[in-house]
Chain A
């Protein structure tokens, strides 16, 4: 078996989730009741037998590091390989690299040391459940230099505007990469490349004064390198705005979507919190809702997501909302179309109502 090593490149990810990314990077945003965005990428990698993973972090990575620890939840606390969180600190006066190429350049030892022949590079905004070994198979069959992964979307949602799209020609060869709106082939910010090719391309890009590996070394070199397109067909969500975060969160309440993402044979793992099972008191009334452990529910909850350790008081009503870790909603409070970040407290009888297309967001640790 040929080995793959992983790079999770967070360098270009903008913190566009407003209040949710004031204190953390996008990859550390809680999602799906008990996960963080990055859990999907890490779990997909470990499920695909990628056992050596580097995380290129640029900004606001405290909560990310806290969450990933040494990779214990994914069995990445290893002697060989494992998880490497690589913050952007370097003091090499001779270094001329720029942009995310700095990460590749300064962490070149990660590439040198890994015994893998292939490198899978991914961001954290595309939620999916993918087997990268299948991508490798396709990559080898195509005999390509690079294989990029895309999702053919049925409907043009607003979040795809910001995504890059692929023009795919004969033999699945990528002919152009662009931001044009009409194209349904959404590039998932994931590509597979032979380690040696990656090293050469990085070196060349730096020598030419480039600053963005994918744009400058792959997209702009399309005529000269063979870029193969791999179509991913499973559950998919792109989270790059509050609106897409909210809509894709509540999409998980559709059981088909949910089961396509959370598979028994390819589980999404996350840091364990040792919370007790959730408790539903007399008088609780919970419908169409995802609930993580450690919650105590006395009120009414509908079409919502409750993260770990949320308390919902008597007579409280929560609809179409995402309530993050350890929030306390006092008796008779009413929340509709609301996203509460961690540790928020909603006092008794308080009403917060957002618009269905624009949820009301409460930043971390606020008391209302």
Chain B
């Protein structure tokens, strides 16, 4: 078989504890987003739209839903004879085995997988971010510069820079220093967690890192600093566009709300850069005579008899008469009873909100209320941030 120019490795094993009950039995990349997607649809669709047809998905934490969702990769056109999507959980070998101990360790333990394709470059992705990006342009840059590793960066507001991994660069894009969450940032170029390595370089550094007992086996903390120390050629590739970490309940809610802007920075209707997802194939949504819907994103299978304002509804959501859903994200198959009030909330898949209950705090800036999966809110009850 011909070798692959670039193989993607998608780190999807994270627990995402800051998403609270949303990730209780779900890996973070499988969390719902934007009315019909899961977070992982974004990197996977980016891969297929960028012409990358071989993706290893590294799983560890609560993989059942994710495994089922990925299947053989057909929604993303990744059902290929050679390549396609492969789910890569930790596995036992003759000399033992164990859990992935870090991002670098996860890739190191799958060097054999990469060997099969003998790639020239390896693209490392994470399943934590919402963005659309043409990885092939980054790969072109990486090859043009003949870099050992290229790290995709995005300019963040200076006042937020200390929340990110910051790249200090020369004018020509050479990375000279990596600052993880610096108190006094010297640059506002944040790492997006998207790396391209030369395969030979990646192999060498992962192998060396594995031999170091004191290493935390993490790309940001160990691998990148090691490359910098050896004065390897590290390039920053500046990405311009929408990019958002959705690691917390608040940021997940915000990223959803971003889609409701008049002209959102992330265009879900771009027919030349579709975001693919598994489709539940439900009937068209129905807005009844009693409904009032404005500034909303609504998916198929929904039935709306009440009021929906500045909210996102996934498939199969029912909103009964007199109910008001405002500034909220309602995940699939949620049933919302009559005269229910929901403000600034995320309601998880399959929840039943009985008549007359009140959920969330309408005060602007207040904490987002989260109703856990298949939660049931009794009639006439009151629920706020837990």
- The binding surface of chain A is classed by DSSP as loop
For residue A282, CB closer than 8 A to chain B, the reply is yes
**Is A280 within 8 A of B296, CB to CB?**
yes
For residue B186, CB closer than 8 A to chain A, the reply is no
Chain A residue contacts of B303, Cβ below 8 A: 255
Docked Cα-Cα span, A286 to B35, in Å, equals 19
Docked Cα-Cα span, A267 to B282, in Å, equals 8
Listed in ascending order, the chain B residues whose CB lies under 8 Å from chain A are 34-36, 260, 262, 268-269, 274-277, 279, 281-289, 291-300, 303, 308, 312-314
Q: Which of B36, B276, B286, B298 contacts A255 (CB 8 A)?
A: B286
A104-112, A141-149, A196-204, A287-295: which lies at the B interface? A287-295
Chain A residue contacts of B269, Cβ below 8 A: 275-276, 279, 294, 296
Q: Of A275, A280, A290, which is in contact with the most chain B CB atoms at under 10 Å from its CB?
A: A280
Chain B residue contacts of A277, Cβ below 8 A: 34-36, 268, 297-300, 312-314
Interface size on A, residues (CB 8 A): 37
Docked Cα-Cα span, A33 to B303, in Å, equals 14
Compute the total of residue contacts between A and B using a CB distance below 8 Å: 103
Docked Cα-Cα span, A2 to B183, in Å, equals 72
For residue A188, CB closer than 8 A to chain B, the reply is no
Chain A residue contacts of B297, Cβ below 8 A: 276-280
Given the interface pairs A258-B283, A272-B279, A290-B284, the reply to whether A279 lies near B289 with Cβ below 8 Å is no
Q: Which of A258, A276, A282, A291 contacts B287 (CB 8 A)?
A: A291
Chain A residue contacts of B287, Cβ below 8 A: 286-289, 291
Q: Which of A280, A283, A288 contacts B289 (CB 8 A)?
A: A288
Docked Cα-Cα span, A37 to B34, in Å, equals 30
Listed in ascending order, the chain A residues whose CB lies under 8 Å from chain B are 32-34, 73, 253, 255, 258, 262, 267-270, 272, 274-294, 296, 305-306
Docked Cα-Cα span, A34 to B300, in Å, equals 10
Given the interface pairs A286-B287, A293-B300, the reply to whether A280 lies near B277 with Cβ below 8 Å is no
Docked Cα-Cα span, A289 to B292, in Å, equals 12
Chain B residue contacts of A267, Cβ below 8 A: 281-282
* A148 smallest CB distance to B (angstroms): 29
Given the interface pairs A255-B288, A294-B269, the reply to whether A280 lies near B279 with Cβ below 8 Å is no
Give the top 9 A-B pairs by smallest Cβ distance, nearest first. Answer: A33-B284, A276-B268, A277-B35, A277-B299, A272-B279, A290-B284, A262-B283, A292-B284, A288-B289
Closest to B283 in A: A262
Chain B residue contacts of A288, Cβ below 8 A: 287-289
Chain A residue contacts of B274, Cβ below 8 A: 274
* A187 smallest CB distance to B (angstroms): 27
